[in-house]
Chains A and B, each alone.
Chain A
Amino acid sequence: MKADRALVLHLAVLAALLLAHFLAPAYHHANLARIMVLSIYAMGYNIAFGYTGLLSLGHALLFGAGLYGAGMGVMHLGLPAGPGLVAGTFAGGLMALAVGVLALRTTGVAFMIVTLMFAQAGYLAILYFGQWTRGDEGIVITRAARAIGPIDLSDDASRYLVALTLFAAALLVNLALARSSWGRVMVAMRENEERSRMLGYNPFAVKLAALVVSGLYAGLGGAAYGLMFGYVGASLASVQYSILPLLYVLLGGAGTVLGPFLGALLMFYIIDYASSLTDAHQFVTGAALVLLVLFAPRGILGAIRAKAATWLP
């Protein structure tokens, strides 16, 4: 039997991240934990955009649902962090279902604007219902509430390992999904919706399912982000957080399993490096978006897949 190159590659990435836990200096150790959590969110974005071809400009709504599902669950219902994480994940999935049922009636440009509008309404609603959401100032999750059983999420080492565990699970599920027959149906929707319909698939159902899976990922990412870093605020549900995963996915390679992580990793350090030179880090984001669509629309892994490694999932 031929060795499963793709599986080996993904396991090697996870092993390298585990190794980094012991070797990486404290600063990069903390960065990596954050990048892994953001990558979960970006993987969710990739399932909708990269595989299924749904360019959403409103994923911050799903990320925000995860954040506030966990944050408000912990603050108002007194949930422990573990169930908070689950609540946030399902909040993301549920929100995706609600948005999807409406937004998937549209396609193309209209879909982008509708998702953008829903996310904007969600963001404004967070500000408006400040009584419960604490609007602009945000919810600070206390240290006591940030423990899953004996694991204290405010401790650097356990935070890293929890982030890695969640990231590993998300990555392997994504890999399995991409290689399953269902994953191929998602790609078929992206490539030619009419032909898929003719072959007997229901585009609406497939796209809705993909969006819900995407929402579960975004919700998990949001909930983990809130609980691990102890802060849930409206700024994390703003339009910027819809653009970030798009940027990560475009950079790493849309429709590749490792692309979102690679994109998040590179973009995080590019912005980090640029911030040490100039405070114009928004310029870097903007220039990266323009340059990517102009010169590298397939992203890094997409280009590698096209040139050298066609087996890359």
Chain B
Amino acid sequence: MDFGPFLLLALMEGLVTAAVLALTASGLSLVFGIMRVVNVAHGEFFMLGAVLAWFVSVSVPGPAPVAFAVALLVCPLIVGAIAALADILVLKRLNYAPEPTIVATIGLLYILQQAALSFFGPDARPVPAPFSFRIQLPWFGYAGYKLVVVAAAGLLLLAVWLILTRTRAGLIMRATQQDRDTARAFGINVDRVYAGVFAMGAGLAAVAAVLIVPIRQAHYLMGGDPLLLSFIVVIIGGLGSLRGTLVAALLIGLSDGVISTFFAPTLAKILATLLVAMVLVFRPQGLFGKRAP
């Protein structure tokens, strides 16, 4: 294959990565933005979404699209419920103090990972794609499902944005973000907002995982990479800024696609990690953020 088509392929792969990454990272960003909580267990919510999608795909009879639709609806709800429970039982009781909270989410990470290992097992398992048409380009064939993933992720992100900016629930979330005490004084149930936001953040990670799992298999250790990449995206985009998160996801996803096609992926990861550490050290508001967090 020539260089041009090869680059096109790399960019298309990068776009799929970027779409899923944007969804996952927006969940992390939402939780940090509104609750000021750094959720280290976010990658495990992603993993849970994928693992639950596998359980749904083997237990729901009927054609693959039906099972997939069920997974797309049910998995984020279950994962969101688990997250809300974790928020109410643990994080709320810590009063969201930064250091104990981060330690608690590390604990949560271990617990969820172990649960997946115990109930799902150590093997990677495939989940069938809902459909399998291929788009034939002049140089190569491309799985149509991957383009659907990109479109679906775009729609979901649009929905999140609409919820945040155009609905009453979004208004309440933003009010809580700006001043939790004043929000409480105006009769907003802040505890419920927090549980809801934490659930929504985890649900976004789970949706992203359900979308990607037909392309990459479900595995109990799959949460590590999305966590690291989401951190990178959220930090480069500016902690808590949803728009910055989207731009950074596109940037990181596309460059990840290109770099790991042409260079060693480990080297790419080392450089990206160091870059992010440097951004935090020298420009803590992120590359696109304007004000200090």
| Residues of A near any B CB (own CB < 8 A) | 55, 57, 102-103, 105-106, 108-110, 112-114, 117-118, 120-121, 124-125, 127-128, 243, 246, 250, 280, 282-283, 285-290, 292-294, 297
B280 in the interface (beta carbon within 8 A): yes
Question: Which residue on chain A has the smallest CB distance to residue B267?
Answer: A128
Contact with A along B96-115 (1 / 0, CB 8 A): 00111011101111111111
Cβ of A287: which chain B residues have Cβ within 8 Å of it?
Answer: 107, 111
Q: Which of A250, A280, A283, A292 has the largest count of B CB atoms less than 10 A from its CB?
A: A283
Min Cβ gap A97→B in Å is 15
CA distance A114 to B290 in the complex (A): 20
Decide yes or no whether B276 CB sits under 8 A from chain A.
yes
Q: Which residues of B contact A282 (CB under 8 A)?
A: 110-111, 113-114, 117
In the complex, which residues of chain B have a beta carbon less than 8 angstroms from the beta carbon of A118? 273-274, 277
What residue of chain B has the Cβ atom nearest to residue A127's Cβ? Answer: B266
Shortest 3 CB-CB distances between A and B: which pairs?
Answer: A286-B110, A289-B107, A286-B111
Report if B281 contacts A (CB, 8 A): yes
| Given A289-B110, A290-B104; A283-B281 close (CB under 8 Å) | no
In the complex, the chain A residue whose C-beta lies closest to that of B99 is A55
Asked if B228 is at the interface of the complex by the 8 Å CB criterion, the answer is yes
12 contacts between A and B (CB under 8 A): A103-B277, A105-B281, A105-B282, A112-B99, A113-B231, A124-B269, A243-B106, A283-B111, A283-B114, A286-B112, A286-B113, A290-B107
Contact of A290 among B108, B115, B277 (CB under 8 A): B108
Not counting A280-B118, A289-B103, A294-B104, a sample of 8 additional A-B residue pairs whose C-beta atoms are within 8 angstroms of each other reads A108-B98, A109-B102, A113-B235, A246-B106, A286-B112, A288-B107, A293-B94, A293-B104
Give the docked Cα–Cα distance between A125 and B93 (Å): 39
Q: A117-B276, A246-B103 are in contact. Are A290 and B90 (CB under 8 A)?
A: yes
B100–A293 contact, CB under 8 A? Answer: yes
Given that A55-B99, A124-B270, A128-B267 are contacting pairs, would A286 and B107 also be in contact in the complex, using a CB cutoff of 8 Å?
yes
Docked-complex contact A113 and B264, CB < 8 angstroms: no
Query: Cβ of A280 and Cβ of B114 under 8 Å apart?
Result: yes
Q: Is B154 an interface residue (CB 8 A)?
A: no
Q: Is the CB of B273 within 8 A of A110?
A: no
Output the nearest chain A residue to B94 by Cβ-Cβ distance. A293
* CB-CB contacts below 8 Å: B9-60 with A: 38
State whether A103 touches B281 (Cβ < 8 A).
yes
Q: B284 at the A/B interface (Cβ < 8 Å)?
A: yes
From B103, which residue of chain A is reached at the shortest CB distance?
A: A293
Q: How many residues on chain B are close to A (CB under 8 Å)?
A: 39
CA distance A288 to B108 in the complex (A): 10
Partner of B110, one of A112, A250, A283: A283
Task: Give the residue among B93, B102, B106, B267 with the most A Cβ atoms within 10 A.
Answer: B106
Expressed in whole angstroms, the Cα–Cα distance for A294 and B103 within the complex equals 10
Distance in angstroms between the alpha carbons of A79 and B108 in the assembled complex: 43
Q: CB distance A113 to B38 under 8 Å? A: yes
Do A293 and B107 contact each other (CB < 8 Å), given the known contacts A106-B280, A106-B281?
A: yes
Residue of A nearest to B228 (CB): A120
Q: B108, B228, B273: which has the most chain A beta carbons within 10 Å?
A: B273
Of the candidates A117, A124, A246, A286, the one whose C-beta lies within 8 Å of that of B277 is A117
Within 8 A of A (CB), among B247-292: 264, 266-267, 269-270, 273-274, 276-278, 280-282, 284
Which residues of chain B from 122 to 154 have a CB within 8 Å of any chain A CB? Answer: none
Partner pick for B273 among A102, A112, A121, CB 8 A cutoff: A121
Report the minimum CB–CB distance from A59 to chain B (whole Å).
Answer: 13
CA distance A121 to B272 in the complex (A): 9
Q: How far is the CA of A106 from the CA of B110 in the complex (A)?
A: 27
Which chain A positions have C-beta within 8 A of B102? Answer: 55, 57, 109, 112
A60 to B39, CA, bound (A): 20
Across the interface, do B114 and A286 meet the contact criterion of CB distance under 8 Å?
Answer: yes
Please report the C-alpha to C-alpha distance between residue A107 and residue B281 in the assembled complex, in whole angstroms. 10
In angstroms, how far is the closest chain B Cβ from the Cβ of A102?
5
A121-B270, A121-B274, A282-B117 are contacts. A113–B107 as well, Cβ < 8 Å? no
Is there an interface contact between A294 and B94, defined as CB atoms closer than 8 Å? Answer: yes
* CA gap between A282 and B108 in the complex, in Å: 10
The smallest beta-carbon distance between A76 and chain B, in angstroms, is 21
User: Quick one: closest B residue to A240, CB to CB?
Assistant: B110
Residue of chain B at shortest CB distance from A110: B280
User: Which residue in B93, B111, B113 is a CB contact (below 8 Å) of A294?
Assistant: B93
| Inter-chain contacts of B284 with A (CB < 8 A) | 106, 110
Closest to B266 in A: A128
Distance between Cα atoms of A105 and B284 in the complex (Å): 10
- Smallest beta-carbon distance A287→chain B, Å: 6
A297 to chain B: closest CB distance in Å?
A: 6
Which chain A residue lies CB-closest to B273?
A: A121
B266: chain A residues at CB < 8 Å are 124, 127-128
Contact B264 A128 (CB under 8 A): yes
User: Inside 8 A of A125's CB, which chain B residues have their CB?
Assistant: 270
A105 to B98, CA, bound (A): 18
| C-alpha gap A128/B102 in the complex (Å) | 29
Chain A residues lying within 8 Å of B270, measured Cβ to Cβ, are: 121, 124-125, 128
Q: Given A280-B118, A285-B110 in contact, is the A121-B277 Cβ separation under 8 Å?
A: yes
